[in-house]
Chain A
Amino acid sequence: MHIRHILPLILLTAGAAQAADLTITVNGLTNAEGKVLLAAYDSADTFLKRPVGISMADAQAGSVKAVISNLKAGDYAISLYQDKNANKKLDSNLVGMPTEPYGFSRDAAGSFGPPSFEQARISVPDSGAEITVTLR
């Protein structure tokens, strides 16, 4: 095999070794409206501000699966919501209370506010990970 062909193969293999897939099963959908949008965050500072990975899945009653690909091995917190009316935002009422279903990794919940990165922290090894989140 010519070196010209080997190099891309090495690069591909290397990439796969360092980029893990996180498979997320989302439970608790009561209908098939819109899509489920998911985001992964890799630090407390960037939590709910700057995601490092994203995914989406068509909603269906019951549960759906989505994959956030190409994550570096490490710790993450996942937030997700069902965008029922497909306006690409989590709808909220006049005081900011969410009015579409949402959830966090480890089904974390805060007290008068969202959970912390710590509360929702999961570990994703090189080999990838699978988690389940129930919409609230």
Chain B
Amino acid sequence: MQRRDFLLKSLASGLAACLPASALAGTDTYQAYRAGLARHPRLAMLAGTQNEMLAGEASISGSWPQDLAGVFYRNGPARLERGGERYEHWFDGDGMVHAWRMANGRVSHLGRMVRTHKYREEAAADQLLYPGFGTAIARRPVGNNDSVNAANTSALPHAGKLYAMWEGGSATELDPQTLATRGLKTWRNDLTALPFSAHPKVEPDGTLWNIGAVPGVNKLVLWHIRPDGNLARVQLLNVADLALVHDFVVTERHIVLLLPPFSLNRAPGISYLAMHQWQGQRAMRVLVIDKADLTLKYTLEMPARMVFHFGNAFDDGDSIRLDATLYQDDQVLQEMAAAMRGVVWDKGVPSVTSQLTLDLRRGQVREERLLDASEFPRVADAVVGRRHRALFTLIEDKQHGMGMGGVARIDLDGGKIDRFAFGPDWVVEEHIPVARPDGRGLWLVGPALDLRRRQTVLNVFDAANLAQGPLAQARLPYAAPLCFHGNFLST
């Protein structure tokens, strides 16, 4: 054997592509959260669960639509504590995937922890071992991004498969019936552990687009998956100063990303979040990529903003129009960290859902504000990448503190807002539009936590009339951990 065989050259460049291994552990976050909970009952939303599985039949109030049939898969960080320690950021918790099954006017719920490498090791040790997004722990060595994959951000049914999605590594395949973990999804051997982020866009024909950010080497991964679930193309794009990128949008011809202005502090021993340093004097870059050849066609600039989520986008002549929920800066990340240790900021961080018009010919971006204090924008599956008329969001409950308090529909032609607020005892989760099988409009479906009774309730609204309140509610006999995102599979 030649000495050459032992050269670990690829390590020199390769490890730069991995998330950093952090070095410090331990906080009093666990105790602080409990103290905070006594002062702020709404913080019960961040209690999480110690259970591996939750299952129950919902009791229905009102009349659950007989023809609303399918499975609403959702995902969120559920295991937030272990061995007397608590994560410092909501994004760190291990994912629990939920299946809300509905047929013939009845609703059942199953929640099951995703048994990732990280979860299995930590469960066996009964101790937090690996770093999270916002928590620096290094009790076990980290090999690559999938060593710390928390599979906690969204759930996606696609081409007969079900995936638990995370931002920094592979998707995890689950059994769509039992939610048992099958393992990491590897599209091709050389794509092992490559980020496949949590907000893929599925066009009406089933074509799936996704991104993955690799900040260490300033490379953006572009994924194109066929409707049958097979890999069509994967492409790397060099992007300078790449940092956290959570979501994106597609049109019929383009892939569009907004890049909030961060620089990365590569100091050892700090969390991935702590590495992100806001650069508010810099512009937010808008990347417009051609779907045909996956090359960067335009880079536009707009004032610095933080963004997680997009609604939809469409081509409009020489322009692209898209909606996104924007923040003035990155404080929202700190606000969520504060809540994990029981601190509720007096004045929440303001958000606004806006429609941006990208004038590709002039290279200009125009912002039209649609709705203040809103988040979690969604559109119907049938209009992804096409012109849409209705955008659904959650609305904040500024009066009663943190967490979302209601649902809204924004009519993009005319700007009319239709909304429903649940009241002070509720924390509302992402609601998504679901097409009625008779073609006569949409339902809006989503859960909310009833803080008074500590139970989770699934709501169904007539999407054309949110203000009248839910048509029906399906109430579980327990509180399910709060989720981030999900998708509906009609049956």
Interfacial residues, chain A to chain B (CB-CB below 8 A): 28, 37-39, 48-51, 54, 56, 79, 81, 88-99, 101-103, 107, 109-114, 134-136
Contacts and interface: CB of A to CB of B under 8 A. Distances in A.
A124 B86 CA distance: 41
Given A95-B236, A101-B143, A113-B16, A48 B5 contact: no
A129 to B, nearest CB: 20
Given A48-B7, A79-B8, A90-B11, A99 B266 contact: no
B76 to A, nearest CB: 26
A98 B9 contact: no
B142 A95 contact: no
Contact of B6 (A37, A91, A111): A37
B147 to A, nearest CB: 7
Nearest to B20: A111
> Which of B7, B11, B194 has the most chain A CB atoms closer than 10 A to its own CB?
B11
Contacts of B142: 109, 136
Contact of A136 (B141, B189, B214, B266): B141
Given A93-B193, A96-B16, A134-B141, A113 B216 contact: yes
Contacts of B236: 94-95
A97 B18 contact: yes
> Which of B17, B236, B268 has the most chain A CB atoms closer than 10 A to its own CB?
B17
A81 B192 contact: no
- Give chain B's interface secondary structure class: mixed
A135 B236 CA distance: 29
A51 to B, nearest CB: 6
5 contacts: A48-B11, A54-B1, A97-B18, A98-B14, A136-B143
A48 B8 contact: yes
B63 interface: no
Given A94-B221, A99-B193, A112 B15 contact: yes
Given A93-B194, A95-B236, A136-B141, A49 B7 contact: yes
Interface string B5-37: 111111111111110110100000000000000
Contacts of B268: 109-111
Contacts of B8: 39, 48, 79, 81, 90, 102, 114
A95 B7 contact: no
Nearest to B21: A109
B8 to A, nearest CB: 5
Contacts of A88: 1, 5
A48 to B, nearest CB: 5
B11 A79 contact: yes
A97 B14 contact: yes
Contacts of A48: 7-9, 11-12
Contacts of B219: 95
A124 to B, nearest CB: 18
A56 B1 CA distance: 10
Contacts of B145: 97
A102 B11 CA distance: 9
B221 A95 contact: yes
Contact of B214 (A37, A50, A56, A95): A95
Interface in B172-230: 189-194, 214-217, 219, 221
A113 B15 contact: yes
- Give chain A's interface secondary structure class: loop
B267 interface: yes
A90 B6 CA distance: 9
Contacts of A28: 141
A109 B142 CA distance: 8
Contacts of B1: 54, 56, 88
Interface string B114-155: 000000000000000000000000101111110100000000
Given A51-B7, A95-B17, A112-B20, 4 more contacts: A90-B8, A93-B17, A96-B13, A136-B147
> Which of B20, B138, B264 has the most chain A CB atoms closer than 10 A to its own CB?
B20
A99 B381 CA distance: 35
Contacts of A102: 8, 11, 143
A90 to B, nearest CB: 6
Contact of A97 (B6, B138, B141, B144): B144
Contacts of A95: 14, 17, 194, 214, 217, 219, 221, 236
B50 to A, nearest CB: 27
B216 A112 contact: yes
Q: Which 4 A-B pairs have CB atoms at the shortest separation, nearest pair first?
A: A136-B141, A96-B14, A112-B216, A109-B21
> Which of B6, B144, B147, B219 has the most chain A CB atoms closer than 10 A to its own CB?
B6
B362 interface: no
B347 interface: no
A98 to B, nearest CB: 5
Nearest to B267: A111
Contacts of B16: 96, 112-113
B234 A94 contact: yes
Given A48-B12, A79-B11, A99-B144, A54 B194 contact: no
Contact of A51 (B3, B191, B192, B221): B3
Interface in B224-245: 234, 236
A81 B20 CA distance: 19
Contacts of B5: 37, 88-89
A48 B140 CA distance: 23
Contacts of B17: 93, 95-97
B6 A38 contact: yes
B62 to A, nearest CB: 50
